[in-house]
Each structure stands twice: as C-alpha cells, then as structure tokens.
Amino acid sequence: MNQQCLFVYGSMAEGMVHFEKVKNFIKSIRTATAYGTIYRLKVGYPVMVLTGQDLIQGNLLELNTSDILWHLLDEFYGCNRQDPCKSFYRRESAEVLVDGEITPASLYVTSIEKIPANAQLIPGGDWQEALRSLPPLCDRLTDKQKNYVLKLGASSSREIVPIDMTLYRELMSLELIVDKGRRLALSQFGQELYRHLK
C-alpha cells in the first residue's frame, strides 16, 4: 500500500459523521487549512470550491491507501473520474498548509457553477461555527424520522414502506419524501440526506 494525503472538512473531518469511513486507513492526522470558499448545503454540511481566499479548517489525513480506497471514496462522494462534468464533487490536488508548511494533498470539492441556489455562503469559511450555530439536518431529525428515511432509502423501488400521517406530514414539509400515488420515495434532497444517515 502507498501513503497519500487527503484533506478533509465537513462530514468527513475528525469527530464528524463520516470520519469512521476512513478512520482505519489513517496513518497520521494533523490540523490543516486550505484556501478556498465554502458553502453550506441544504442538508447542512459544507462543500468547498478552490476559488477564494478564505482559510478553510480541516484535517490532513496521511492514509495507508490503495486504488480500492480511492475508488470507494470517489463512490461515496459520487465522483465520476471518467466524466467529472457529471459529478457534483470532484477529487482535486491542491496545496494545504500544515504548521506553516505547504503540503500537496487530494481533496473533494465542487465548482462554483454547481453550487445550488439554496446553498449559503459561510463568511470567512468557518464551517465548524456554522454547524455549531445550526446543526446539520440529520442531527435535528427525530429517531422516528431518521429510521423512516433509512427504511425508505434501503427499500426496493416497488416496495411499500408504511407510514403514519403525522410522520408523513413532517417528512413532506422537510421535502424529504415524494408521494408517487401508491408508494412513497425519497426526494432528491431525501436521497442526499440518506447518504449522510447510512
């Protein structure tokens, strides 16, 4: 296995919901920053673009990795390496700052053109403070709401997952589900949230 560096922020940073996905592959972890601009997505987690001069806090992970791990990370981020234009996220190389020194690393970012209209700019790039002020949606859902989203996300397209009317109204108002007549399905936003819950 070869060692490579990955700069992570948001849901993949240490202590966050997806850190466990890479934890067992980490050789070392250090606090780091990268220049860019960061936006808060509707689901509550941040996404970064490499344009801009904010110093974005994150972790530099030195990974014991292989092509398989990079493939799994690309898949998690929905990153199409053959046709990056089809992906929201793309894996880029950039220079990050660690203890005042510049270090090359990979990181997952998007382009400014792909930032959704409902995303909010995080002034100064302090995504941690933004999440403390208003936690991501998956942290604000009730257990009942989370369990239903997980069940619906794991069900086949023909399977009917029963729901009570109170929960139905709650999830519809959060725009997490769509009613397809005889069955319910996750909305596009619901599918994004499901990725963060599973």
Give all domains of the chain, ordered by start, each with its CATH number.
2-132 (3.10.490.10), 141-197 (1.10.10.10)
Mean predicted confidence (pLDDT) in 62-66? 84
CA 152 vs CA 139, 148, 185, 197: distances in Å = 18, 6, 7, 12
Answer for the pair 42, 189: CB distance below 8 angstroms, yes or no: yes
pLDDT of residue 64: 86
pLDDT of residue 3: 60
Structure tokens at 57: 């806090």
pLDDT of residue 19: 92
Helix (H, G, I), strand (E, B) or coil at 85: helix
Q: What is the pLDDT of residues 88-145, one digit of tens each?
A: 999 999 999 999 899 999 999 999 999 999 999 999 999 999 999 999 998 999 999 9
Mean predicted confidence (pLDDT) in 177-185? 86
